[in-house]
Each structure stands twice: as structure tokens, then as C-alpha cells.
């Protein structure tokens, strides 16, 4: 399974997106959202159209060794195994709980977005994500992986992808995000409900100004 080449066509921006209904001249008549709300090609932005500090903020927040590893971060895995083992000794955690300490790289998160969105974060699922991440790293460049992640991550309030999130929360394209806005969006996919900028607007606005 690990040696099987990854089919990059599975990451086509149009795959899993909304149903687009056009007339015979190609004029858009209606866009029916996908079941899971994922955006299609018309909402996809190339990495070059995302503010550079937004890209760096995501790497710093989610996967600091992203440009050095090949899909998995060995040191993060070792740390997660130790923490999980420690917790198992104390609390006899279930398999679902065992995976809560993370160690997921950006590539592993992309694998989950594409192949098992919403699936429980069990140890067995994490192992599958690890294998897929290794295959994705062989098929795509680091820049392509970042573009996929930024366009597929869920930022809450129906916003899939950083372009939709920038428009939803700040009324601007991803290319125009300030450093503070980019930092806020970088952490939002971790828990869109807990970090919801609209629900916590006064606090986030103050923080964003300081970060900028």
C-alpha cells in the first residue's frame, strides 16, 4: 500500500465541490453546495495569491518542520507516543482518546481532509493518514501540498479554504490579509467553534491589532 503511487487526480480542486449548472453558453445558472460544503474550482486560489505571512503563519502554527520532513514528523510522533503512553498508564484511555495528542503534519491533515473528513481520530485512522501522507509527499511538491491544505481547511461558518475565510471574516481576499488576521486564521481550523472570530469579535479585534 505504501509503495502504491498516490493518484494526484484525487486532489483536483473540482473533485467533491458543488454541482455547477450552466446554460448552453457556459453562463452559470446555479451552484448547488456539496453535501459537506467543500468549495469547487471557482473558489480555489493558487498559493501565489495568499499573503506570504499567512502561509508562514500556518507552517509555524501547524507544522514547524514541514519543509524538512517527508510527510511525518518523527520527533512529534515520539513526543505524542510518550504522552499517550503516560496517559494510558494513568487513565486507561480508549483507542479514540489515544490519538488526541496529535503529531499530525500538514500533509497528514490534508490526507484526512480528502479521504476521511469527520472520521474519529483513532489510532488506526491516524496510521492510515500516515501512509497516505507519505504517498502524497512523493506525488506533490511542498508548495502544492500547502496550496491544497489552505484551500481545503475548514475555518467555520461555512468557510472552506483561506480565501472564503478571509472574505467571510475580514471582507478581503487572502492576498490582502494583515499579519494579525493571518495569524488568527492560521489557528482557526484547530477549533472553528472555539476560536470563532465573530462570536468573540471584540477580543479578537484587540488581539489582531496588537499582532499587526
Domains parsed from the chain with CATH numbers: 8-12+45-211 (1.10.3810.10)
Q: Is 172 left (phi over 0), alpha (psi -120 to 50) or beta?
A: beta
- Asked if 31 and 18 touch (Cβ cutoff 8 Å), the reply is yes
How far apart, in Å, do the first and last CA atoms of the chain sit? 46
Q: Which of 126, 76, 133 is nearest to 96 (CA)?
A: 126
pLDDT of residue 143: 96
pLDDT of residue 206: 59
SS3 letters across 25-81:
CCCEEEEECCCCCCCCHHHCCCHHHCCHHHHHHHHHHHCCCCCCCCCCCHHHHHHHH
pLDDT along the chain (212 residues), means of 10: 73 65 54 57 86 96 92 64 53 45 81 80 81 92 95 88 92 95 93 84 58 56
Residue 123's CB is within 10 A of a number of other CB atoms, namely 13
Cell numbers placing 151: 484551500
What is 140-164 written as a DSSP string? Answer: S-HHHHHHHHHHH-B-STT-BSHHH
Using the structure block, give the residue that is written with the C-alpha cell 488568527.
Answer: 184
- Asked if 95 and 88 touch (Cβ cutoff 8 Å), the reply is no
Amino acid at each position: 500500500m505504501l509503495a502504491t503511487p498516490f493518484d494526484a487526480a484525487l486532489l483536483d480542486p473540482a473533485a467533491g465541490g458543488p454541482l455547477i449548472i450552466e446554460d448552453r453558453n457556459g453562463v452559470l445558472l446555479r451552484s448547488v453546495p456539496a453535501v459537506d460544503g467543500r468549495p469547487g474550482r471557482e473558489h480555489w486560489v493558487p498559493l501565489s495569491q495568499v499573503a506570504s505571512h499567512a502561509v508562514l503563519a500556518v507552517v509555524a502554527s501547524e507544522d514547524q518542520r514541514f519543509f524538512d520532513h517527508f510527510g511525518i514528523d518523527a520527533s512529534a510522533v515520539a513526543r505524542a507516543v510518550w504522552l499517550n503512553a503516560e496517559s494510558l498508564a494513568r487513565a486507561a484511555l480508549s483507542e479514540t482518546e489515544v490519538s488526541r495528542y496529535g503529531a499530525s503534519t500538514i500533509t497528514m491533515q490534508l490526507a484526512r481532509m480528502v479521504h476521511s473528513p469527520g472520521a474519529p481520530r483513532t489510532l488506526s485512522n491516524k496510521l492510515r493518514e500516515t501512509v497516505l501522507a507519505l504517498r502524497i509527499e512523493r506525488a506533490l511538491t511542498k508548495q502544492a501540498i500547502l496550496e491544497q491544505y489552505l484551500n481545503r481547511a475548514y475555518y467555520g461558518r461555512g468557510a472552506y479554504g483561506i480565501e472564503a475565510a478571509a472574505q467571510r471574516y475580514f471582507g478581503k481576499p487572502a492576498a490582502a490579509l494583515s499579519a494579525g488576521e493571518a495569524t488568527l486564521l492560521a489557528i482557526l481550523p484547530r477549533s472553528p467553534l472555539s476560536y470563532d472570530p465573530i462570536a468573540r469579535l471584540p477580543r479578537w479585534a484587540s488581539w489582531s491589532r496588537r499582532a499587526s
